[in-house]
Amino acid sequence: MWIGLWLAALGLVIGITVGLNLPFTVPQAYAKYMSVAALAALDSVFGGIRAALEDHYDNRIFITGFFSNALLAAGLAFFGERLGIDLYLAAVVAFGVRLFQNLAIIRRHLLKK
């Protein structure tokens, strides 16, 4: 189990290093969608770690969840923008709450063992 966590941390570090050295940034107009998508992706990863700790990890659910959550969050923000409603707030709140729940559960699992 610890290998998974270490791999996750390692992947994150590599990703951040690569990302910081990529030569492009997101255009300002899309920065909002990107931020919500990143939040959703973060939530998915924590969800995956939690599932792994609870031993009902499913690779397909994890991968599809990751992408669909990110796309849904970005789509929601985009749609909200068109409608004039700040729908991305819904994504931020929903994923934020879930993020904390997942973190709490992961913490408990780690402390129990």
Q: How far is the CB of 73 from other proteins (least distance, A)?
A: 12
- Alpha helices in the chain, H assignment, sequence order: 2-21, 28-53, 59-83, 88-112
Q: How far is the CB of 54 from other proteins (least distance, A)?
A: 13
Residue 28, C-beta contacts closer than 8 angstroms, at least 6 positions apart: none
Q: How far is the CB of 103 from other proteins (least distance, A)?
A: 15
* Count of beta carbons in the 10 Å neighbourhood of residue 38: 14
Q: How far is the CB of 102 from other proteins (least distance, A)?
A: 14
Task: Give me the residues that bind other proteins (CB under 8 A), please.
Answer: 3-4, 7-20, 22, 24-26, 28-29, 31, 34-35, 37-38, 41-42, 44-45, 48-49, 52, 57, 59, 62-63, 66, 70
Amino acid at 81: E
- Cα 65 to chain center, whole Å? 9
DSSP classification of residue 23: S
